[in-house]
Structure 1
Amino acid sequence: MSAPTRDLSEASGVGGASTPRLAPWNTTVPARAPRSRRRTAFRAIVLVVVAVVAAWALSAVIAGPPRSGLPLDPGDAGRSGARAAAEVLRQQGVDVSVVRGIDDLERTLGAADSRARWTVVLTDATYLGQGAAERLTRAVEQTRRFVVVEPDDVELGDLALPLTVTDRSGTSLTAGCRSDVADPNDRLGASWSSYGLLAGLAGDVRSGSARDRTPPARPTGPDTSAAPQPPLLARSATGATVCFLTPDASSGSSSGGTGSTSRGSGSAPADAPAGARSGAVVILPREGRAPETVVLGSAAALSNGKVLDAAHAALTLRALGPTEHLLWYVPGVSDLDAPDPSGRHVADPGRGVPEWLVPASWLLAAAVVAFALARGRRLGRLVVEPLRVVVRAVETTEARGRLYHRAADRPLAARALRTGTRTRLADRLGLPRETPVVALVEAATRASGHPHHDVEQLLDGPDPTTDRDLLLLAQRLADLEESVRSA
C-alpha cells in the first residue's frame, strides 16, 4: 500500500499551538503480489501426491477381502481374526475357499467333483439360524471332515451332534490322546470349552433326547412341534475320541472301568454316561453319510493372537488341512432367517431378523426426511438488510494517520511505512516475509535497478526528523515499490 499524501502547506504546523487541518488522504491499495511459481508448483505436486495416496487407500479398502466382523474371520488380520491360519494353510497347498452364506456353501459343494476331497469348517455360528443349520448338516454329508469351533448347546442341537457343554476355563490342558488331530503331548494354552458325550441318541433329533438337553435359554415357537419336520437323524457317540480331558473328567475316569483308556486312544464306550468323559476336542467318526466331525473347543487357539502359542498351530493345521480343499463357512446375517431344506421358514422368536425391522427402518427414514423439510422451511428466504451506517474501508487508515500526526511521532510513522514496504516487496519478490533486511535490500536492488545505498537508506535508514522528510520517505518508498512492480 502506498504511503498517504498530505498537503505540505498544512503540515508545517506540527507541534504548534493549533492542530493543522489535514487534507483528505489519497490511499491506494495495490493488487496482492502473486505467489512465486516455485512454491505454487510445489504445493500442486503435494496435493497431487496426497490425492493419489488417498485414492489408493480407498481402493485398497474397497477391493480388499470382505469381512464380517465376527471372531475367526479368515479375512481379518486383527488379533481375533484367523487370517494367519488361512494363509498358512494356503502355503501348505490347501485350496482355502471362503463362503459367507448357506446358499454359496451349497452351491460350492454341489459343484464339487468329489466331496471326499473337501473339509468344511464353521468357526462362528452367531448368524447361523436353525434352518441354515439343518441345510449345513445335509450339505456336509459325504465330505471328508466337518470342523465346528467352540459351539454352544444351541448350536450343537441345531447341528444334531451328541455333545453338551460341560465346562469353560482357561487352564492349560494336555491332549493325552493320539489321533489325526492331536498328539499325546500337544498342549492347549488358550481359553476353552469342554464337551461331554451324550449316549443313546437315536431317531429324530428334534423329538429325541438331543433336544431335551438344550438349555432353557433357547425359546421354541408355539407351532414348531406341530409342524412336520424333515427327518434328521442324530449322530451317535459310539467310537468318539476325546482329547484334552478336563481335570474333573480325567480324575474321575482314572478310577472307573474306562480309566485305562482315558490317556490312551481316548475312545468312549457307547454306554458311557452323559458328561462322564469330557474334553476340549472331540472327534466323532464317520457314520453313514455323516462325515467325520471334529469339535474344537477353543476359538482363541485359532486366532491370530494365539495361534503361535503352545501347540495351537499344529492343532489347527491337522484339523483343517486333511484334504486339498477347505471350505471356510462364515454365516451371514441372511442365514438367520434362511429356510430349512424343505423351503419352510422355521419359527424361532429368539433368533433371526425381526419382522418389524424393515417397516421400522422405512418409518425412521421418513421421519428424518420430514424433520429436515420442516426445519428447512423455518429458515425462510434470505433478507438483505441495509446497514444504518456506511463505514468506508479507508476509515481505519485515515484515523491512524491522524493519531500519528497529532502525536508528532515521526519515527513510529516511518517504521510503519518501512514495515509495509518490506512486506509487500517480499511478496512481490517471492521471498518469505521474515527475510532479513540485508537480503531484501539485495533482491530489491537487482529488481529495481536503483543504487544499493539508496535502497538500503530507504528500507533501513535513519528516521526522519521533520514532516517534510517523512513525506519524502513515503514518496520514495512508493517509487521503489513501483519500480520493483514494473521490473
Structure 2
Amino acid sequence: MTTPINAVPVASAPTDSPASNPVRTASESSAETPTVRQFFRRNTFWILLGIVALGVVLLSAILRGGASGTSIPLAADSPAPDGAKAVIEVLKNQGVTVHVADTAAEADAALVENPGATLAVFDGAGYLDSDRLSEIVSEAGRTVLIAPDFGMLQAVAPSVRLAGSPDEDEDAADAPAAACTVPAAERAGSMASGLSFGIDDDTSIGCFGSGPADAPSYPLVVTNDGISIVGPRAVFDNEHIVQRGNAALALNLLGETGDLVWYLPTTADLEASGPPTLQALTPDWLVPATSLLAITALVAIFWRGRRFGPLVVEDLPVTVPSGETREGRARLYQRSSARGRAVDALRIGATGRIAARLKLPRSSAVVEVADTAAATLGRHPSEIRALLVDAPPTSDRDVVALSDRLNDLERDIRHATDPLGRNS
C-alpha cells in the first residue's frame, strides 16, 4: 500500500534542473524575490519611521549648530539675554564700525588696519594667555576689559586687584553714584553691580565705589594708560543694558573712537602644550564620512539581509510507500529514545482507523472503540484495551511487538467488517 504525498512545503528558490521540478504551479510566482516596488510597499511603515527619525536627527543638529554661535556670552550677533547684539547694533547706528574678532590673530589684524581703534575684550573662559593679551592691548588706542580675571589684571593693570562682588540688589534705589571724573561714568550716573576691584596706587581712578572708606571697591576702574576695567558683565548684555545707566556707560566706553574691535577669545587662542590631541589630528571630514558610511551600511543590511520569500505549496508527482514512511518515523523515534511518543502515534493511528471501520464517530472515546472492537471480534474487552490503552511498553522490543499486534488487530477488524475485501 502506498501513500501519495499531495502537498509538501518547499522553499521558494527555484531549482537548477528542470527534471528535478517537473511540475510548477501558479503559486510559485508569489514566492519570487520581491521587486523594489513590492519591497517599499511591504516596508512602508519602517521606511517612513526611518525617514522621520533621520529628519529629527538632522533638525536637532541644525538647531544645535545654529544656536552654537549665540550661546557664547556677549556674542556680538546673539539676541539671547546674555548676548551683546543690542549694544553692538546701537553702536553701528551711531557710526561706529565694529570689527568682530574670534582669535588673537584677527584682533591683531583689525587693530593694525584701524590704528587708534577701541579694543573690547571679554575672556570668560580664560582662553587667552596673559602675554598675548599684553601684546594686543599695546596695539589698541583704548581698551575696555570686561570682567577680567587675576591673570588679565596682572598683565595690563598690576595696580588693580580683584575685590569680590558686593551683595546688592540690582534694582536698588540707593546705588552708588559715579563719584569720579570719568566722563562716561558721569554721563551714566549709575551702573550694574557685580565684580569689583581695589586700587593700590593713584595711577587709576575708581568709579561707583562702595564698601568701607579705608578699603573701597569699584565696579569701574580707569587707568592712566586708557584702559577701562568693567567688572559687571551685565553692563553690556541684552538683559541688563536698559537698567540703570548701563546703556550710557557701555555706549560711551565703546564708542569713543570710530572703530571698535570686539574680541571674544576662543579655543583657537589656547597655546598648544604637549603632543596634539586626537581631536586636533582628526580631519574635519572624518566624522561626516563615518556617519554616512554607517547609515549606508545600515541601509544595505536592511536591504540585502532579508530572508527568502514565503513558503509555497507545490504538488510533487511522487508516491512513498506507507511502510517506508512508518519505518522512517520509527527510526527517528528510536534515535531520540522517544518511546512514549512512538507508542502514542501507533495507538492513535490504529484507534482512528479501527473507529472508521466500525462506523463509530470520530469523537468516540478509546474505551468505546476498544469495547466495540472486542464485541465485533468476540474477544474480551480487556485484551483490546491493553493493546489500545492500558499496557505501556518498556523497551524497543515491546514497541515493535505492539506495532505488530496493532497491525494484526486492524487486519482482523477489516476481515470481520468486510469479509469479501471489497473496501480494502
Q: TM-score scaled to structure 1, two decimals?
A: 0.43
- More helix per residue: 2
For the pair shown, the structure with the greater C-alpha radius of gyration is 2
Q: TM-score scaled to structure 2, two decimals?
A: 0.49
